Amino acid sequence: EAQVTQNPRYLITVTGKKLTVTCSQNMNHEYMSWYRQDPGLGLRQIYYSMNVEVTDKGDVPEGYKVSRKEKRNFPLILESPSPNQTSLYFCASRWGAKDTQYFGPGTRLTVL
């Protein structure tokens, strides 16, 4: 089954404790992205990647890091999480820039 998977689905952590949210797709897609979704602010892009080792900032990259060492994986790293990073995070992938984008199930992160 073609899908985008994220782990963990739920995470509660404390300020400053480094964490990684994994994202994997099995569709051989070139493009992968991370978004955060907050009430009243909608979906905002954090980072995106056009291919292995090619990444670029989205609208809200501060406080986040990404890497794309393999085509199928695109982990999101929070080196020192803060409470304002409490949000619902989505990973997504698509074949080309104009193609349909498929979203993962989401990771709900709470930073205390």
Partner 1 sequence: EDQVTQSPEALRLQEGESSSLNCSYTVSGLRGLFWYRQDPGKGPEFLFTLYSAGEEKEKERLKATLTKKESFLHITAPKPEDSATYLCAVLKGAGGTSYGKLTFGQGTILTVHP
The answer to whether residue 43 forms part of the interface with partner 1 (CB under 8 A) is yes
Among 1, 62, 69, 98, binds partner 1 (CB under 8 A): 98
Closest distance to partner 1 from the beta carbon of 32 (Å):
10
Nearest Cα to 67, choosing from 85, 46, 49? Answer: 49
Q: Which is nearer to partner 1, 33 or 87 (CB)?
A: 33
How far apart CA 25 and CA 34 sit, in angstroms, is 13
Closest distance to partner 1 from the beta carbon of 45 (Å):
6
How long, in residues, is the chain?
112
Q: Which is nearer to partner 1, 40 or 69 (CB)?
A: 40
Do residues 76 and 8 touch, judged by C-beta distance below 8 A?
no
Cis omega before residue 75 (within 30°)? no
Q: What are phi and psi of 77, to 5 degrees?
A: -115, 130
The answer to whether residue 77 forms part of the interface with partner 1 (CB under 8 A) is no
Helix (H/G/I), strand (E/B), else coil: 50: strand
The answer to whether residue 67 forms part of the interface with partner 1 (CB under 8 A) is no
> What residues make contact with partner 1 under the rule CB under 8 A?
4, 31, 33, 35, 40-45, 48, 50, 56-59, 88, 90, 92, 97-98, 100-106, 108
